[in-house]
Structure 1
């Protein structure tokens, strides 16, 4: 019987596994072409000039500890990255890959799939105008066009995910089309940093963005008090003030509108109830796997 030499498998390339990849790969394999490590020094988990300092690394470790598998922390970690930079940069992708032992390709696939992760710097505020069917029919398209013209310069309307002002600075606004915002009963609606402003008109929307550009923070129709984009991203990452009063100030607010619960209120007032399910109702059989 012919004996075959033992072959060491090439590990999947990832930021922390790059050294192993170099050691295990055949001399003919262009490791640099398949690895996210493209420059000398990128094998280090962080560099002195990285925007993700020790406090952010500590938060990333905290996120990882909340899940049985580290890769499950990717979504909140991307929000953490946006809380630092206001978007997901290539540095942010590398940071997440290093922390989670993923390849940059895996992280990039997630970033480019979800629209909440921005690939270019956002404004202090993100204004999302619902232009899905019902909102569009009730004025959402007109509101978006009016805001694009109002925020544009030199006769050019502001484009989708473009910023009026300098990104990140006080009063800057990114405008975007949004798919259904799940508030059809209050259409047309828009959001500022994911907080609702219901029953908008072209005029009220212009007044709203003008207030944002002046540095004001108008009260949303419902939900938490308005914060800036980066602060909201930190909340979406799962980090809130430890003090109870500060926490409540950040998140408390009316969570529902009268219109949303009108049907339930009518049913309660008139004594309407749904028929209960009989105890002997046959249930579909489920095959054991």
Structure 2
């Protein structure tokens, strides 16, 4: 199946879900979660569709999306990197990890590498302060990171797709 048909099928699946929900404003979070599960992120055209179907202003929808760090508006890389910059991680030098990631991957926060393998975002807390500094890479938590250990982890993902 080519990418165009895949996108069309995803859109049809989501539209069917929206029709099932109907214009119930109380279902916004559920609808946003469903959109993100289907598309991997919540693109602008899907936000507009949600706005029409639920009869909620687009600004309100965007406000909810940007309030919760679970929701994203741009596609992530194959291996998304979420680096904690909360107090405990910051005190334990997570800013050095951020510099290292930017240097190694040549991307900034909110960007995806040219090959589509990695994307980078920061979060405020994973609730793993005793393990600081912490990063979530492709859904796996890595703790007590150093620039050296992070470099090795990224190398393994790139080479082996761990």
- TM (norm. structure 2) is 0.78
Moved over 6 A (4+): none
In structure 2, the residue matched to 1:119 is: 73
Residue 114 of structure 2 is matched in structure 1 by 165
Answering whether residue 88 of structure 2 is matched by residue 143 of structure 1, we say no
Q: Gaps spanning 5+ residues in structure 1: where?
A: 1-48, 153-157, 218-289
Structure 1 residue corresponding to 2:49, chosen from 95, 98, 106: 95
Residue deviations 1:59-86 (CA, integer Å, cap 9, x gap) = 4456x38xxx932322232233233433
Candidates 171, 174, 177, aligned match of 2:119: 174
- 2:15, 2:98 → 1: CA distance? 38
- Higher normalized helix content (fraction of residues): 2
Aligned twin of 2:61: 107
What RMSD in Å do the two structures reach over aligned CA positions?
2.6
Aligned partners of 1:132 and 1:179 also within 8 Å:
yes
Q: Select 1:188's aligned residue among 128, 133, 143.
A: 133
Does the 8 Å contact 2:79/2:119 carry over to 1?
yes
For residue 64 of structure 2, give the secondary structure of its aligned residue in structure 1.
Answer: helix
The structure-2 alpha-carbon separation of the partners of 1:184 and 1:164, relative to structure 1 and needing over 3 Å to count, comes to same
Q: Which of the two has higher C-alpha Rg?
A: 1
Which segments of 5 or more consecutive residues in structure 2 lack a partner in the other structure?
1-6
Equivalent in the alignment of 1:79: 33
